Each structure stands twice: as structure tokens, then as C-alpha cells.
Structure 1
């Protein structure tokens, strides 16, 4: 779920419910506050309460949930690339060492029951382990739900700043061949949201600072005011993953991959992860054809001649749909005219991981009932890469 060097955009959120509705939760850099806002006419949204979130350098978005009857507040990641919920234990020393500022004190009085079963969860940049535990979880404005997860007592190499994760991957019990409810489907079953759907709109930090756009995640539907074209839907090809079929990948108009492989749609990472053999062709083109020097940390010269890239998927109507991504979306600025390219080789399955570099341009809609992922062009316009005289020291 995470990209190395903390080159990660993780959307975290606070969302609220008024009856059975669609929940639209804006994100904005700054102190977390609450205010009631009307929704724009033409949106499919009905009603809701918006909560502002903190955008840290376009890399991580922090939001709040409440755990236990005490409603202890934690800032967590809502992640379509994983399926477990976890928060750190108050006894987790490695959590503190990794930068997590607090832990949860699990007691029966707080309706927390921890078992003797240990579970370990692996991510791209580290892992966690702890006891399987029953929690009471509450999103501010909703009714609390009984939810199981992991009370973490060990963490290794995860980015600092977060205090847990709520996985949004469909949870499937392969022993009984049945789906198990996660947080989204639980809210739907309890009639707190209209449909078992979650979608994301992710603005750039420069737009949030100017007040032009505000990042948002929507539970129960999607916000039509954030897209400029109709949605295309793609069938999920794995029971326990938001993976769809990819049939093409081009760089600068050159075909790098053509076939039928798996692409995981993961809002928990910024990068594009690609299988090593395909990644080798990609970087051969970048360095050989475009003469771009690539550093050890995927650092590149901001003035280099970067190509457009495109991905082709087959939709639910059996038609091929191609999505193009410009370099302003997949290159991020650093210091001293150094930028970073959000493409990385990835050993193992799936063949492709499509992260927020793509999802900033194309709003994703995850439908648990129809087992589809939808994409539509957002209103987002990426900030142009800076010229040498515009580079600032961060």
C-alpha cells in the first residue's frame, strides 16, 4: 500500500451521516474543524456534514475515527489496497519509535475484547502484528459499529504520522465462500448510507491552499460535480481485491505491454508499481529514448523530457477504454531542481498497482454490490512542473 521514501498519497477521512444518505467528506489542509455545507445542485449527493482534513505535502491525508465507548480519537488511513483495521496498542514501543503519537488502551469497560490469536499484516514498506481484537468503531456523526481488527504491538518501517488503517478491500471468507462485511458494507446494512459504494476525489495541495478545490471521499455514491465525463465501469476479477483487467500500457506512444493481466486499484499508494520485466522496458525507454537520468531514489531532473503514459482496460460493456496520464500527474517536485518519478518496479503479484497518481486525474468509484470499479475524468488540473528558477527549498 505504501510507496518508499514516503512518496505516498494516503487519503484519510472523517465522515458523518444524517439518516440514510450519501456521505461527501471534503479534505483541506489545516486544522480539523466541522461545518455544515449545502451540496451543489446537480450532484447525486443528498445531505451530510463535511469535515476538513489535513493534507501534508500532497503525500498523506489524515482524518479521525473514534474507538471504544470512550470515543478515543485516532487518525487513520482508509485504504482500498488492504482489508484489515488496526490501531496501535498503548504498549507498542515500536509504534512510538516509528512516529505514531498515541496508542489505544483496550479494556472490557471500553467494549474492547482482545483474543490470543496473533495476526501479521504486510505492506509495501513494512508490516505490523498484534492480537485479533473486537472493537467499537465510530466515525464522527455515525452510530458506532462493532468491528474486528488488530491491536498492534509491533510495527516495522511504516510512515510516521498515521495512527492506524481501515482496509476497504472486499473481505472474503474462502472457507465458506462468502463475503464478510467490512466498514462500508456494515454502514450500508445498518442503513446509514444509501449504497455500498465509496469514491474518492483528490485535489492537489496548491488548489486546496487557494480554496479552489477540496479533496473529498464519498460514502454511498459519488459527487457528479467533481467529474467532467461519464463513468466507465470495470469488473473486479478477484474476490478479495479491487483488481481489474488491464490489456495495455504505453509510454510516449510506444507499446510497453499488451495482454491480459491484473491491475490493483489502490488509493493507499501514490506510485505506479509495475512487474519487473515490464518495469525494465519502461525505464529503458525513459533512460534510453528520453535520455532521462534516474537516481537511486527514483529522482530525476525536473527539466527532463517526460512522456505521457496510458493504460487500457476492458469495461463491463466489453469495450477497451484508454486513460492517459501526463507527467505533471506522475512527477513530483523536490529540491535543487530534483523531482521524483512515481513509477517503481514491483516483485510479485499483481502485475500493476495503480495508485493515486492515476486516481487524482480519474475519480474512482468502488461498488461492493456490483463488484465493479468506475473511472471518470475529474476536474483536477495538475500543477505544471517548476522551472529551475521556480524551485524552492523545502
Structure 2
């Protein structure tokens, strides 16, 4: 998987106060008189849900800041799986009980014969994640994410896996747009949306720093307790993956990458940050980083002296402090930036978990935009 390669009811006390009766206009009435009601409600749509059931947070476990994994169930009766919630892909897959690859022996596997609601689709599928891949069959069954139930959900069942040995998850749950689904099936988020599981077609991520607990993915709305300030909305530039336009990348006021604008993928399935090899080399020079195998080693003291790397997105600066982009590993520190060879005519970046730990992220399917705000 690319993870390797590009390798919370709050009880409220209710006080009743008896006051003299008098007619006071409600906020709704005042806004309606001034023709501002619709604007107000639209602006609040992602902070308040109409009913508690329309927004749900699902816990994710943080595995060493490298993968954020949540539990789902598939089948009747339910079989449990740990999956990577991935905004960089659109398919759901888990290992099949018939999988003979070594990776499958250390992960939970799905047994179709033990589910009364499973249906075969009669097709095969091969999904590549960089050099990692899965090959298997396509079926459909009932899939549950917390209280959300997706009926007749298509998913892949791997019978061959390459590159998944030792990963802390059984499969992947893709949250990108339907256009990149390899199985050509409706992704689970779209299926839930079409079945009326939530009123607002949005999901959001809060990724904890270092702590195993505390991370969440939320569906159907946004809980503002996870971020500070206001959400800044960025239009999606291409409706396949969650792709946005980026203006520049700077350090100490100097443009070090994306000097003429570039594209960036906001990807929860990637632990680090990836850019063109040439641009990442520029950043590593300013960090005094030295190559060591496939990593770049940095002095651990540099956390106290290096400036932030600033990504300017839609005219707003998103600083990434050195304590975020310098990763401590035992007795050394390594850079979270990785360079990959790209075509000379393009410059693309992947903003993975290193960036998303700093910024709460909202993915709005209806309006095709991403909301970002400093995470708490």
C-alpha cells in the first residue's frame, strides 16, 4: 500500500429559570425579516446538525503517526475488519479467507460462506497502490461504519496481496470520487449518501499527534470542537481524487517549491509529504539534511532552529513547523519530505498525515471543496 511506499454524549446540565413573559423576536425571525436567514443557515450547516443522528464521529487508532485505522464490519452476522480510511482511493477491499499471501495470514479475512447477505458479482479486480497491489474478486454485502449501514455495498476480496506484510490494517476504505473506482462500483460514502444516511454529504478528519487515541473521522457534518478559528474553503480542482491548487511553498520568505503554482492531493492514506525530487532537494538543502538510504537524516536540534515550511493554498498560508516535518525515530531524526521523479511539465504534491495532523480537514462532496482550519 502507498502507506508503505510513498513510504467522541456530552451530559449537559439543564437550568430552568422563570422570567416574566414578554414577546422577544427570535434570531430566526430577525434574520428572516432582513432576508439573511438562508445565508445564516448555509453558513452554519457544517457546525450544527438538525438531529444528533445526522453527524457521527468514528474513532481511529493512530499507529505511530504512520497510519490512522478504524473498525468496520461486513456481512450478516458482522465480521470485523480494521481499515485505512483513505481519501486517495475510491474502493473498499478486505482479504478473503481464500487468500494465500503471507500478509493475509496475519490479518482478519472475510468468509463469504458465513454471511447470509453476501452476493457474488462475478468479476475480478486488481488494484495498484504504487508497487503494492491486491488482486481478487468483487462481491457485495452489508457494511457498517459505526451506526451507518450501507446495504448491497460492493467491495473487493483479495486473494493475492503484495506489499502488505506488517501493516496495522486489514484493508482499505476509499473516500475519493467515484470516477476513480477500479471496481466501477459506487463507493461506500456515495452509497450512504444515496441511502439518506446523512443530510450533509461531508466527512472530516481529526488526526492526533503521537497519541494512539483521540483521532476521528466524522460523517454528515462537522464538530467545531476539533479545530480553532474558521474553516477556509478550497475548491477541488479535479473531481477524481481530492485535488486542489497550491500557490507556492516557502521557507524563510524564500520560495522553495511551487513557484508558478502547482497541484496538491490531500491524502489521508499517506503518512508523509511528497513532491518533485528537485523541489524536495531544495528543501533538504535548507534543512542541512543528508541522505541515508531512502531517508534524509536531520539534526534533532534543528527542531529549535529551522523555520516552518509554508504552503500557500488559495491565498492563505498553512505553516508546517519543524516539529511536524522532522520525525523522531529512536536515536535519529528524519525529514518527512520525500521526492519523487515527475514530468518536467508538472509539479504535484501529496499532503499526507504530516500536514493533516496540523490542519483539521473537511471534505465536501456536494460543493466539491475542502475545508481546512488549525487542529486543536
Shorter chain as denominator, the TM-score bin is 0.7 to 0.9
> Is residue 377 of structure 1 aligned with residue 367 of structure 2?
no
Aligned position for 2:202? 197
Deviations 1:217-238 (A, max 9, x none): 2111211112211111111111
- The 1:126/1:350 distance shift into structure 2, 3 A limit, reads farther
Aligned position for 2:333? 339
Aligned position for 2:289? 292
Which one of 127, 137, 142 corresponds to residue 131 of structure 1? 137
Q: What's the C-alpha RMSD, in Å, of the aligned pairs?
A: 2.9
Deviation, 1:325, is: 0.7
1:76 aligned counterpart, secondary structure: strand
Deviations 1:55-98 (A, max 9, x none): 3222223321111112111111111011111010111121x436
Unaligned 5+ residue runs, structure 2? 15-43
1:299 aligned counterpart, secondary structure: strand
Give the structure-2-normalised TM-score: 0.79
Give the structure-1-normalised TM-score: 0.76
> Is residue 79 of structure 1 aligned with residue 80 of structure 2?
no
Deviation, 1:114, is: 3.1
> Is residue 241 of structure 1 aligned with residue 241 of structure 2?
yes
2:261 aligned counterpart, secondary structure: strand
The answer to whether the 8 A contact 1:200-1:364 is kept is yes
The answer to whether the 8 A contact 2:274-2:349 is kept is yes
Aligned position for 1:251? 251
Which one of 98, 106, 126 corresponds to residue 112 of structure 2? 106
Which one of 50, 54, 61 corresponds to residue 68 of structure 2? 61
2:147 aligned counterpart, secondary structure: coil
- The 1:70/1:378 distance shift into structure 2, 3 A limit, reads same
> Is residue 367 of structure 1 aligned with residue 373 of structure 2?
no
Q: 2:197 and 2:103 mapped to 1: Cα distance?
A: 38
Q: 2:163 and 2:208 mapped to 1: Cα distance?
A: 27
Q: 1:38 and 1:358 mapped to 2: Cα distance?
A: 33
- The 1:180/1:144 distance shift into structure 2, 3 A limit, reads closer
- Comparing 294-303 with 322-331, greater Cα deviation is found at 294-303
Q: 2:237 and 2:6 mapped to 1: Cα distance?
A: 29
- The 1:194/1:115 distance shift into structure 2, 3 A limit, reads closer
Higher helix share: 2
Q: How does 1:382-393 map to 2 (within 5 A)?
A: none
Deviation, 1:144, is: 4.0
Deviation, 1:181, is: 4.2
> Is residue 303 of structure 1 aligned with residue 310 of structure 2?
no
1:303 aligned counterpart, secondary structure: helix
- Comparing 42-51 with 131-140, greater Cα deviation is found at 42-51
Which one of 143, 150, 165 corresponds to residue 156 of structure 2? 150
> Is residue 44 of structure 1 aligned with residue 57 of structure 2?
no
Q: 1:367 and 1:282 mapped to 2: Cα distance?
A: 32
> Is residue 270 of structure 1 aligned with residue 271 of structure 2?
yes
The answer to whether the 8 A contact 2:150-2:188 is kept is no
Which one of 160, 169, 184 corresponds to residue 176 of structure 2? 169
- The 1:2/1:84 distance shift into structure 2, 3 A limit, reads same
Unaligned 5+ residue runs, structure 1? 8-25, 27-35, 315-319, 380-394
Larger Rg: 1 or 2? 2
Deviations 1:227-265 (A, max 9, x none): 211111111111211000112011333202212321000
The answer to whether the 8 A contact 2:58-2:145 is kept is no
- The 1:40/1:128 distance shift into structure 2, 3 A limit, reads farther
1:259 aligned counterpart, secondary structure: coil
Question: How many residues end up aligned between the 2 structures?
Answer: 332
Q: 1:40 and 1:357 mapped to 2: Cα distance?
A: 38
